[in-house]
Chain A
Amino acid sequence: MNVFRAREVGDDWSEVRAELERAFDMSRAAAQREESFVYVVHHDDLLGRRGAGNAMVATGLLSAARTAAIEGWRKGWTANVVAYDDEADAGLVDAWVERLARDSSGVTGELIRLGPSHIGKALP
Chain B
Amino acid sequence: MIGLIVVTGAARGIGRAITERLAANPSFTVIGVDLSPELADIDERSIPVQVDLTTDDGVHQVRKAVEDAGLPLLGVVNNAGITRDARLVNLTDDDFVAVLEVNLGAAYRLSTALSDLVADGGSIVNVASRAYLGNFGQFNYSMSKGGIVGLTRALALSLAPQVRVNAIAPGLIGTEMAMAIPEDVLDRMIDSIPLGRMGTPEEIANVVWFLLTPLSSYITGHVMVIGGGRSLS
Instruction: Please list the residues of chain A having a beta carbon within 8 angstroms of any beta carbon in chain B.
Output: 11, 13, 16-17, 20-21, 24, 27-28, 31-32, 45-49, 51-52, 54-64, 66-71, 109, 122, 124
Contacts and interface: CB of A to CB of B under 8 A. Distances in A.
A13 B109 contact: yes
A124 B154 CA distance: 13
B121 to A, nearest CB: 21
B105 A55 contact: no
Interface of B: 87-89, 91, 93, 96-97, 100-101, 104-105, 108-109, 112, 131-140, 142-158, 221
Given A21-B97, A28-B88, A55 B154 contact: yes
A122 B112 CA distance: 24
23 contacts: A13-B109, A17-B105, A20-B147, A45-B150, A49-B154, A52-B108, A55-B154, A56-B147, A56-B150, A56-B154, A57-B147, A59-B150, A59-B153, A60-B104, A62-B146, A66-B133, A66-B146, A67-B134, A70-B134, A71-B136, A71-B137, A71-B139, A122-B153
Contacts, number: 129
A10 to B, nearest CB: 12
Contact of A52 (B136, B154, B221): B154
Given A51-B154, A52-B154, A56-B108, A63 B88 contact: no
A63 B143 contact: yes
B33 to A, nearest CB: 18
A64 to B, nearest CB: 4
A48 B157 contact: yes
Contacts of A60: 104, 143-144, 146-147, 150
B190 to A, nearest CB: 19
A63 B153 contact: no
B150 A64 contact: no
A31 B104 CA distance: 24
B100 A20 contact: yes
Contacts of A49: 154, 157
A60 B103 CA distance: 12
B97 A67 contact: no
Given A20-B147, A46-B153, A55-B154, 11 more contacts: A13-B108, A20-B100, A24-B143, A48-B155, A51-B158, A52-B155, A54-B154, A56-B104, A61-B146, A63-B131, A67-B135
